[in-house]
């Protein structure tokens, strides 16, 4: 699949086809990025549950192992819901 970036979105961000989010690399939109600290993670799954971009990566055993930065917009919800601070927000270096 040929992925598009934010410049390929229609003016006004109008969604022309529901369910097309995987066609767009939206990670370039963020100013802050979540950083996953595996040693602190208790695998409660709150980050996965609340992530609006489905950007939390889980392995075959359903364990959180990272963040998909191609789709993460840096909203910070995952960091806010993480009770053990296994995800922190850092300024994106571009």
Total domains in the chain come to: 1
Residue 78, pLDDT above cutoff 70: yes
Read off the pLDDT band of 30 (50, 70, 90).
confident
Query: Is 15 domain-assigned?
Result: no
Average of per-residue pLDDT values in the chain: 85
Strand-strand pairing, 64-67 and 32-36: unpaired
pLDDT at 8: 63
Residue partners of 87: CB distance under 8 A and separation at least 6: 34, 35, 36, 37, 47, 67, 78, 79
What's the whole-number mean pLDDT along residues 85-93? 94
pLDDT at 24: 67
- The CATH number that applies at residue 73 is 3.30.70.20
Residue 26, pLDDT above cutoff 80: no
34, β-bridge pairs = 89
Query: Is 94 domain-assigned?
Result: yes
Query: Is 44 domain-assigned?
Result: yes
């Amino acid at each position: 699949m040929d992925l598009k970036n934010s410049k390929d979105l229609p003016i006004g961000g109008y969604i022309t086809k529901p369910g097309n989010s995987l066609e767009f690399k939206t990670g370039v939109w963020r100013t802050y990025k979540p950083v996953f600290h595996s040693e602190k993670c208790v695998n409660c799954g709150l980050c996965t549950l609340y992530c609006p971009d489905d950007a939390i990566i889980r392995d075959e055993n359903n364990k959180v192992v990272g963040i998909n930065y191609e789709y993460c917009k840096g909203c910070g919800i995952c960091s806010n819901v993480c009770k053990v601070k296994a995800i922190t927000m850092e300024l994106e270096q571009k």
